[in-house]
A and B are shown apart, each in its own frame.
Chain A
Amino acid sequence: MKTWLKTAIGALALVPAAAIAQVPAGYPADYAQTIAAAKKEGKVVIYSALDTKAASPLIKDFSALYPDVKVEYNDMNSTELYNRFIAEVASGQGSADVMWSSAMDLQVKLVDDGQALAYKSPEVAKLPGWSVYKNQAYGTTYEPAVFIYNKRLVSADEVPADHAAFAKLINTKVDKFKGKVTTYDIEKSGVGFMFVVQDTKYFPAMKDIEKGFGATSYRVYSSTGNMLEKVSSGEHLLGYNVLGSYALVRAKKDPNLGVQLPKDYTLVLSRVMFIGKSAKNPNAAKLWVDYILSQRGQKLIGSDVELFSIRDDVDAEYTAAKLNKQMGGTVKPIPVSAEITQMLDSKKRLEFLGAWKAAVAAGGAK
């Protein structure tokens, strides 16, 4: 009798879940077919540069929305993501259904190389124009590049408010900051490289920062996590072009860490997502992409996931709208466009790296 009761309750409990998996409001009616096909596929394989722990609110919520689609979420760094994807595609074994990476340039390159499935998301009208590429790839977040500093060891009047102040600080207080300035290793980190390429576009005196790096014998890491750790512990004092989404989260819990958004201009990175052309579960992949771009997904991105929502119509703690308002129009999102792939040309890239190194060396020689 009891077992029977349990089964009945279980069956009843399933009803609302089934009701949720209806066509979202405003979507075309034939979306029901996509949902049905996705259910049949039963899972979606995601390769992402965002670690599983950070993405787990999204995975949980998506699973609540589509309980029949299992999320196989694999995190790896952005270079590995790219390497693995092209190797797997070349071997004909099939690869990820959804690619989600902060290496915007590599993502756009894959789209240009014909590796993405053309899919116009029903959410496209709600997204900023610069974040949609060929109706294949979509920017999903709005993450500023910031300065970080150690609050115990850097005084309030030293904290650089903008790029010019940063350059001045590390070129004048060389003794205090010797070995204590950190940024991305631009040879190892695609994101770090992309940021400094954009910097040269918006900040004509970028050479001064490079020279300051040389003068202070700067230290480089391949990820934001290392920089946050070292600045928090006091081993380093200043961090340049650190991913603000991670920095702000840590700064909330960590009394040692200070975050400064540069006032002259703030670069913004948007994690790019697309569906693989040879995806084995294309319909489930569509559900995932639409979910991430939807108001419901973006609300989580702006709150629990803490990566800043890209949509204007989302109200959460971290949103593009709030950031734009706070910085008064100086926010410069890196567009999801063919332009950013130019620096993937190995000759141009090596020239840039060579010039960068030369400037750093010149600063160090002084």
Chain B
Amino acid sequence: MSSVAAAPSARSGVPSFLTWRALTILVTASAVLGPLSLIFYQSFLTAPFFDPTKTVGIGAYQFIFADSDFWHALKNSVLIAAGMTVIAVPLGSLLAFVMERTDLPGKRWFEPLILVPSFVSPMVLSFGFVVAAGPVGFYTVWSQDLFGIAPWGINSLLAMTVIAGLTHVPNVYVYASAALKSLGSDVEEAARSAGASPFRVAISVSLPLIMPSMLFAAVLVFFLGFELFGLPLVLGDPEGILVLSTYLYKLTNKLGTPSYHLMAAVAICIVAITFPLVLLQRKLLQGARKYATIKGKAGRMKELPLGKWTWLALALLVFYLFVTVIVPVSGITLRAFVTNWGFGVNLFDAFTLDSFRAVFEETTHKRAIINTILIGTVGGALTVACYTAIGFATHRRDDGWSRFVDYLVLVPRAVPGLLAGLAFLWVFLFFPPLTPLRTTIFSMWIAYTVVWLAYGMRLISSSLMQVSPELEEAARSVGAGRGTISRQITLPLIRPGLIGSWLLVFMIFEREYSTGVYLLAPGTEVIGAQLVSLWQGGAIDIVAALSLINIVLVGIGLAIALRLGVKLRD
């Protein structure tokens, strides 16, 4: 680092590009590695790191490896992750095929709807499933009244896997459809003219051609399976079905007093599983891009006529949307407006606006709403600015530092948001320059920005890659320095991409919940983390009302994004 920082500064007196670059890399590295190393250090202690009685040792690891709950949680995490991959990959790829390659009517309207589950907080979705399809959910009661049975349950390991699988379909969909887009339609037409059905075309021709992208998506979904928190917390905890993240959360209180060392040890175990997966993803993504470029013929796109298969494709789509969007969202909406629910309760008698009144009467909830809006809008803009700065620090520079940053931004991806939040809390408590910020929304913002670094950097770098190098070289040939090129050439060119990134970051920040769980304090309230805390406390009326408000916020972001024609994926 020092050799870069010592580089001569520019003649004009303003800090040179190299100084800026070194500073950006330094700040990023400390924001990412500081909290992580704190977790690592904490996992090798016997008490909280600020406790004078602590000693160094591997007792924490010994404890969790001897705890049958840990193995139970690990097994469930693997099962759920594998199960949801098996569900999400085929379904997501098929939906992508139908949307990209066929003449299905109303595609333009369906596409944003397909992506909705990825923008709604999992905490909200899970809660929606409980009130809609739980043992006494609205749909369950209706089904029992109408048909005498309600042949589903949502609290088993299988049900959780299915729900997780379905709600992760968008993650597969975006990669599969991007790959399909770059595929010429000539091969499909050939298969079609040889008499293959559209389904046959998908299975035997189109999808095999995008295998690398599907493989990437499969690794991504499998990885996301280890990060699940809201879903198992809401659906699995009451039954004692633990996964790694909820096991970690349970350790907060298991010993009566805080067992940070145990939590840190579990976190390190999770990272040991997820970080290799993140690296694998990176490798696969590079492979997929290479593969797609070779394939990328500028072929004329022709939509495949579905014919009699139209109805089947529509049914599949509507079923998917019904289960993942309509059921939970309608459940929450109903619950927010009734006092009590269940068997024998007439919903019209129970109608009330009290939940919303309660939300708007209490300062903490009002502050949570305002903070959530602020962190998405103002915070989102600042975040995009930070990501852009990092993007410029590595843009068109293929040296060791760029590669270092490339890997660096992937690191937070592997750390569960729950623990990243806890590590940031420690940093804000014990790192003096930052302590005044602890009880402000700023602490939440920093944590969010670091946690979503990998996602955001993908958005920014895909914008940067679209700028053709000739434009920058032209500026250079007339004597412009790197800083000037960045400010006057590249930045204006990527402005539309940045606005799109801002909107996507807005939606991601509205949705985020686990990172804030431990950072939640008077002043830092955000809806996502507040929901976890209120759910634990059993204030269900408030949870429903705040969830609905959260959905509305995300909906506004989505509507603006669609209006501006922002691509909802990178």
Contact = CB atoms under 8 A, between A and B. Distances in A.
Contacts of A77: 533, 536-537
A190 B238 contact: no
Nearest to A246: B538
A265 to B, nearest CB: 24
A229 B252 CA distance: 24
Interface stretch (A217-225, A272-280, A296-304, A326-334): A217-225
B256 A87 contact: no
B141 to A, nearest CB: 9
A148 to B, nearest CB: 13
Given A91-B50, A153-B343, A350-B255, A74 B522 contact: yes
Interface stretch (B168-176, B357-365, B370-378, B507-515): B357-365
Main secondary structure of the interface of B (DSSP, over half): loop
A349 B256 contact: yes
A71 to B, nearest CB: 12
B238 A220 contact: yes
Interface residues of B, number: 47
Nearest to A179: B135
B341 interface: yes
Given A52-B362, A344-B256, A152 B539 contact: no
Contacts of B257: 82, 106, 109, 344, 346
Interface string B228-258: 0000000001111000000000101111111
A189 B364 CA distance: 23
A155 interface: no
B429 A51 contact: no
Given A185-B237, A256-B342, A225 B540 contact: yes
Contact of A221 (B253, B343, B538): B538
A224 B533 CA distance: 13
B255 A82 contact: no
Contacts of A235: 134-136, 342
Contacts of A221: 237-238, 538
Interface residues of A, number: 56
A166 B537 CA distance: 25
Contacts, number: 127
Contacts of B344: 152, 234
A84 B344 CA distance: 43
A227 interface: yes
Interface in A33-79: 51-53, 72, 74-77, 79
A87 B253 contact: no
Interface in A74-117: 74-77, 79, 82-84, 86-88, 90-91, 93, 105-106, 109
Given A91-B430, A220-B240, A235-B135, A86 B258 contact: yes
Contacts of B533: 76-77
A222 B536 contact: yes
Contacts of B521: 74, 84
Contact of A233 (B51, B136, B538): B136
Interface in A186-244: 187-190, 193, 217, 219-229, 232-235
Contacts of B339: 253-254
Given A86-B48, A91-B50, A224 B255 contact: no
B435 interface: yes
Given A77-B533, A109-B257, A343-B256, A234 B51 contact: no
A301 to B, nearest CB: 20
B540 A229 contact: yes
B55 interface: no
B250 A51 contact: no
Nearest to B538: A225
Contacts of B535: 226
B340 A256 contact: yes
A233 B429 CA distance: 42
Nearest to B539: A225
Nearest to A223: B538
A90 B239 contact: no
Interface centre among B48, B50, B134, B238 (most CB of A within 10 A): B238
Contacts of B538: 221, 223-229
A14 interface: no
Given A51-B539, A93-B429, A221-B538, A254 B256 contact: no
B340 A82 contact: no
A355 interface: no
A353 interface: yes
B429 A152 contact: no
B366 to A, nearest CB: 12
A233 B340 contact: yes
Contacts of A254: 339-340
Nearest to B436: A93
Contacts of B361: 53
Given A53-B358, A91-B429, A93-B429, A152 B256 contact: no
Contacts of A219: 238-239
B256 A106 contact: yes
Contacts of B426: 87
Interface in B163-198: none
Given A193-B256, A349-B255, A349-B256, 10 more contacts: A51-B539, A74-B521, A74-B522, A77-B537, A79-B258, A190-B256, A220-B238, A233-B136, A234-B136, A234-B343
Interface of A: 51-53, 72, 74-77, 79, 82-84, 86-88, 90-91, 93, 105-106, 109, 152-153, 179, 182, 185, 187-190, 193, 217, 219-229, 232-235, 253-254, 256, 343-344, 346, 349-350, 353
Q: Name the 5 nearest CB pairs between A and B, nearest first.
A: A225-B538, A233-B342, A226-B538, A90-B50, A234-B342
15 contacts: A74-B521, A79-B252, A87-B48, A93-B438, A193-B256, A226-B238, A226-B536, A233-B136, A233-B342, A234-B344, A344-B256, A346-B257, A349-B254, A349-B256, A350-B255
